[in-house]
Amino acid sequence: MYRPVVVIIVAASALQQAACFAPSSVPTLLPKTSAPSSCTSTAPSAVGRSARAMPPRMAADDKITLAGGLEVSKVGIGAWSWGDSLFWGYDKNMEEDAYLAYKTTREAGINLIDTAEVYGGVGNDWGLSEKLCGKFDKRYQDEEKGEGAVIASKFAVIPPRFTRDAVVSAVKKSNERLGVSCMDLYQLHWPGFIIDAALWDGLADAADMGLVKSVGVSNYSAKRLREAHKALAARGVPLATNQVQYSLLHRNIERNGVKEACEDLGVNILAYSPLAQGLLTGRYSSTNLPKGPRANIMKGRFSELDPLLVGLKEVGEAHGEKSRSQVALNWLIAKGTIPIPGARNAAQAGENAGAMGWELSGEEVEKLDALSLKLEPFPGMPLAAM
- Cβ(176)–Cβ(135) below 8 Å: no
Q: Which residues, including other chains, have CB under 8 Å from residue 221's CB and lie 6 or more apart?
A: 191, 256, 257, 258, 384, 385, 386
Catalytic pick among 119, 186, 246, 272? 119
Residue 376: closest CA among 323, 300, 312, 315: 300
Looking at the DSSP bridge assignments, the partners of residue 225 are none
Radius of gyration of the chain (CA): 20
Q: Quote the CA–CA distance of 382 and 228 in Å, as a whole number.
A: 19
Q: Which residues, including other chains, have CB under 8 Å from residue 161's CB and lie 6 or more apart?
A: 26, 27, 155, 167, 169, 170
Say whether 286 sits in a helix, a strand or coil.
Answer: coil
Angle at 7 between CA 6 and CA 9, to 5 degrees: 105
Cα separations (Å) of 345 from 104, 136, 243, 308?
9, 13, 23, 26
Between the two ends of the chain, the Cα-to-Cα distance in Å is 17
- Cβ(330)–Cβ(364) below 8 Å: no
Is residue 284 part of the annotated active site? The answer reads no
Residues with catalytic annotation? 119
